[in-house]
A and B are shown apart, each in its own frame.
Chain A
Amino acid sequence: MIKIENLHKSYPMGKESLHVLKGLNLHIKEGEFVSIMGASGSGKSTLLNIVGLLDIHDEGAYYLNGQLIEKLDEKKAAVLRNKFLGFVFQSFNLIAYKTALENVALPLYYKGVGRKERQEIAMQYLDKVELKDWANHLPGELSGGQKQRVAIARALVTQPKVVLADEPTGALDSTTSNSVMELLKEINREGMTVFVITHEEEIANDTDRIVRLRDGVIISDEKVKKNINV
């Protein structure tokens, strides 16, 4: 699903240039539940931005769903994001003056889905995250956990190939964190590829595979040993 070969990325910092990603190789198959671990500055956000087509890499190759990503203009990137990717952000990034339902329906709008169908599909996904009763509330009227569930519904609504979650529990307390992670697990069980970025061990342990980053290189990449006494 996601294949990265010898990926490099550096940012200009005045006259100097900051080398953030130093030759990453990563292969994520369809249906995997992967977490990227690392301290701040390790390059994990940069990796997510490149994978999420929000930023472009300098060197190396990136294949998304078997398609080589190169010479990406903004228009093409927008279409690919809409088609293949669903985003979940730490700060939810819901549009404040739109209701939960409208927020969830927005990606479908850019996909070109008709108004009525959009509302129906959005409602199904709100139901899936158990927020059907909150459909007509503005984000300001929802709790943090509810907001993140709306955001997850929005990420899923276009039926993407990969859900990218950037510190999805970073702004939540531990109880709501657990429920959000349960939701992501459930999505994964249904076959969705989920790609989580976090700096919390606990969250990473909920996933199936942990990739650790430090100073722009992958220092470990291993499967999580599950306790089978659930």
Chain B
Amino acid sequence: MKFIFDSDVWQEIFGSIKKSKLRTAITIIGVLWGIFLFITLLGAARGMENGFDKEFKNLATNSIFLWAQSTSMPNKGFQRGRQLRLKRQDVEAINKQVPEIAFVVPRDVQGVFGGPPAKVKRKTNSKTYKLFGDYPTLDNVNKVKILAGRFINVNDIDNEKKICIIGEKVVDELFEIDEKPVGDYLEINGSFFQIVGTYKDNGNSFEGDDSIYIPFSTFRKINNTGDNIGWMVIAAHKEADILKVEKDVKTILRRRHNVHQEDERAFGSFNFGEMFAKITGFVKGIKFLTWFVGISTLIAGVIAIGSILLITVKERTNEIGIRRALGATPSNIKGQIVLESVFLTLVAGILGIIFGGLVLIIINSTLAGGDGFPFVNPTVNIPIAIGAVFALVTFGSLIGMIPAQRAVSIRPIEALRDE
């Protein structure tokens, strides 16, 4: 090990590198390109993963949206085409009977699925907006970004309070810039509601910025919906098989609503978990591809170093013969060649990491943060970068063994004869 720190050894190495500058440069570029691609690809894949994470961070990703439609098969004396409505009791039943479910959030809305939106008045301004009846638990499946005030709480539900949370756009349209909406009142569908909070679209909600939330119980009371609910969001535990949950839930609902078990159209759903799993799978695939391509390129680069050194050794046969006649032991010779290989790979590797990092910084500043393209903070972990350098050193020394072994396998006498 001592010889690594021997300045004479390094002088020998620099001597032989200086002797063939062009070849050394080309060799270094081979490995540099390999690790550069490796780092850039890995960083880009990471950026994409981060981007998707950011897109979906406000959502319970393992979830289903479920609503009632009309039957398509006759059953138990009922004709086909019967309109179904989800009930509050369904929510409780599902919650009890499917153990994989974390929670079920019933929701209702005016002005999205047919029917006129809610009329909203303030002073002389009058407009229409989507009106949602919700539980506080909505926060768990699709986070509401509160700007000021608060969201609906349990107390609001229990007391059927006339309070509302309004979107940014509603604020813009109904209030002057210097007015504070929280604490003020709005007339919604003819009755007055106190504003307790304002919110901003989180990027994934279909409420947008131009909706109004009121407590579910209040919604039910003013719209006279009784036990009916609009639709529900079912969130399963993280590891649960979301497709099975969907099937189980539908089986229960069909039974409860006297629907034929083969009637696939009675209840509609959108399986968000399934879609998310596909995206996750896609990102995983890209990551795998990145590793595969990156490592392959790296190996190709290192092999290039090995073959170049093999040529160098052949060219230097005579020199090696002289050195051995002068008293160089085989391990002197081997050590020098292996160290030369490691040194070249290391320099190339570090340069490659630096260039890769620069490219990632440039990509980050041009692409990231832009809308519509999921790409955030493309980085490579320090341990991975260090690991790559270590792998290079290992590959470099392993591949260096081949020319080194060749160099000492030639007997000095033959080496000296080689002119």
Interface flag for A87 (CB, 8 Å): yes
Would you give the 0/1 interface string for A96-112, flagging 1 where the beta carbon is closer than 8 Å to chain B? 01100000001101110
User: Residues of A contacting B176 with CB < 8 Å?
Assistant: none
B8-35 interface with A by 8 A CB criterion: 8, 15-16, 18-19
Number of A-B contacts (CB under 8 A): 65
| Closest-CB distance, B401 to chain A (whole angstroms) | 16
Would you give the 0/1 interface string for A161-177, flagging 1 where the beta carbon is closer than 8 Å to chain B? 00000000000000000
Instruction: Tell me if A's interface is mostly helix, strand, loop or mixed.
Output: helix
Would you give the 0/1 interface string for B309-339, flagging 1 where the beta carbon is closer than 8 Å to chain A? 0000000001101111111111110000000
A contact residues, total (Cβ < 8 Å): 27
Of the listed stretches B102-110, B267-275, B410-418, name the one at the interface; the rest are far from the partner chain. Answer: B410-418
Interface flag for B224 (CB, 8 Å): no
User: Residues of B contacting A154 with CB < 8 Å?
Assistant: 326
Known A-B contacts A54-B413, A93-B416, A115-B8; the reply to A87 vs B18 at CB < 8 A is: no
Would you give the 0/1 interface string for B344-386, flagging 1 where the beta carbon is closer than 8 Å to chain A? 0000000000000000000000000000000000000000000
* Residue of A whose beta carbon sits closest to that of B413: A54
| Closest-CB distance, A140 to chain B (whole angstroms) | 13
Of the listed stretches A15-23, A72-80, A220-228, name the one at the interface; the rest are far from the partner chain. Answer: A72-80
| Closest-CB distance, A8 to chain B (whole angstroms) | 17
**Docked complex Cα distance between A79 and B413 (Å):** 16
**Docked complex Cα distance between A74 and B323 (Å):** 13
Interface centre among B19, B411, B413, B419, by most chain A C-beta atoms within 10 angstroms, is: B413
Interface flag for A55 (CB, 8 Å): yes
The answer to whether B8 and A75 have CB atoms under 8 Å apart is no
The answer to whether A75 and B329 have CB atoms under 8 Å apart is yes
Interface flag for A6 (CB, 8 Å): no
Interface flag for B155 (CB, 8 Å): no
The answer to whether B327 and A97 have CB atoms under 8 Å apart is no
| A81 touches which of B19, B325, B408, B416 (Cβ 8 Å) | B325
Interface flag for B7 (CB, 8 Å): yes
The answer to whether A55 and B411 have CB atoms under 8 Å apart is yes
B contact residues, total (Cβ < 8 Å): 26
**Docked complex Cα distance between A78 and B332 (Å):** 10
The answer to whether A87 and B325 have CB atoms under 8 Å apart is yes
A41-94 interface with B by 8 A CB criterion: 49, 52, 54-55, 74-75, 78-79, 81-83, 87, 89, 91, 93-94
**Docked complex Cα distance between A107 and B322 (Å):** 10
The answer to whether B18 and A81 have CB atoms under 8 Å apart is no
Interface centre among B321, B322, B332, by most chain A C-beta atoms within 10 angstroms, is: B322
The answer to whether B330 and A93 have CB atoms under 8 Å apart is no
The answer to whether B332 and A110 have CB atoms under 8 Å apart is yes
Interface centre among B325, B327, B328, B331, by most chain A C-beta atoms within 10 angstroms, is: B327
| B15 touches which of A52, A78, A93, A98 (Cβ 8 Å) | A98
**Docked complex Cα distance between A189 and B77 (Å):** 130
| Closest-CB distance, A163 to chain B (whole angstroms) | 13
The answer to whether A97 and B326 have CB atoms under 8 Å apart is no
7 smallest beta-carbon distances between A and B, as pairs? A82-B327, A110-B327, A78-B329, A54-B413, A107-B326, A93-B322, A75-B329
Q: Can you list 7 contacts pairing A with B, beta carbon distance less than 8 Å?
A: A74-B329, A74-B330, A75-B331, A78-B329, A95-B323, A109-B8, A115-B7
